[in-house]
Homo-oligomer: A and B are copies of this chain.
Amino acid sequence: METEQDFVSELGYLSLAVRLKRISDQMMHGARQVYKQYGLDIEPNWYLIFKLLQKRNCLSITQIGDELHFSHPSVISIVRKMRDKGFLTCTVDKADSRRQLVQLSKKALTELPQLEAFWQAGERSIAGLFEHNDDFLKKLDRLEKQYQRADFMTRTLNELNNEEQHT
């Protein structure tokens, strides 16, 4: 009755990083396929910026990075692509000429309702993978908070030192 176990999942927590990356990549790739199939000229993670600016109206590059927990170079590259496709307008802040103020364009506001339908379908399709009342997202919150307290290197070095004390 013992089912043939998968080698990677046999490795337990050790293979967590590679498994999480794989699932994430699959979702991202799937999203790209959906957009392509429907001829939508957007990319997978743009929804983060769309939704953030819908809520906050007008933000700088750094503010966007802080809210989304992205490095600023990542934000620059996403914002630039979205601007080139006409979804964002960027203007220099009059009070501080270093800052870019990023806003949704008219085109974005017009197309947002249509895009929402896709995002909601995507959300439902992921939610459907979990059981009703699943606490996966809560566990994820917890995991993220733990990493804010101490990163992987720190934790691993601690474990190495603990081991040495035992031997």
Whole-angstrom distance between the Cβ of A74 and the nearest chain B Cβ: 11
Q: Which B residues are in CB contact (< 8 Å) with A9?
A: 137, 140-141, 144
In the complex, whether A124 has a CB less than 8 A from a CB of chain B is yes
Q: Decide: B153 and A128 in contact? CB cutoff 8 A.
A: no
Query: With an 8 A cutoff between CB atoms, is A125 at the interface?
Result: yes
For the complex formed, measure the closest distance between the CB of A159 and the CB atoms of chain B, giving whole angstroms. 4
- Is A143's beta carbon under 8 Å from chain B? yes
Q: How many chain-A residues does the 8 Å CB contact rule pick out?
A: 73
Considering only residues 46-69 of chain A, those with a C-beta below 8 Å from chain B are 47-48, 51-52, 55, 67-69
Q: Which secondary structure characterizes the binding site on chain A?
A: helix
Task: Write 27 A-B pairs (CB below 8 A) sorted by A numbering.
Answer: A9-B144, A12-B137, A14-B119, A17-B24, A17-B44, A20-B23, A20-B140, A21-B28, A22-B69, A23-B143, A23-B144, A27-B152, A30-B156, A31-B152, A33-B153, A34-B152, A34-B157, A117-B160, A117-B163, A121-B156, A121-B163, A122-B152, A125-B155, A125-B158, A129-B143, A129-B146, A134-B139
Known pairs A33-B153, A34-B156, A125-B156 / 5 extra A-B pairs, C-beta < 8 Å: A8-B48, A20-B21, A20-B24, A30-B154, A124-B159
**Which 5 pairs of residues, A with B, have the shortest CB-CB distance?**
A30-B152, A125-B155, A121-B159, A17-B27, A21-B24
Binding site for B on A (CB under 8 A): 7-9, 11-31, 33-34, 37, 44-45, 47-48, 51-52, 55, 67-69, 117-130, 134, 136-137, 139-144, 146-147, 151-160, 163
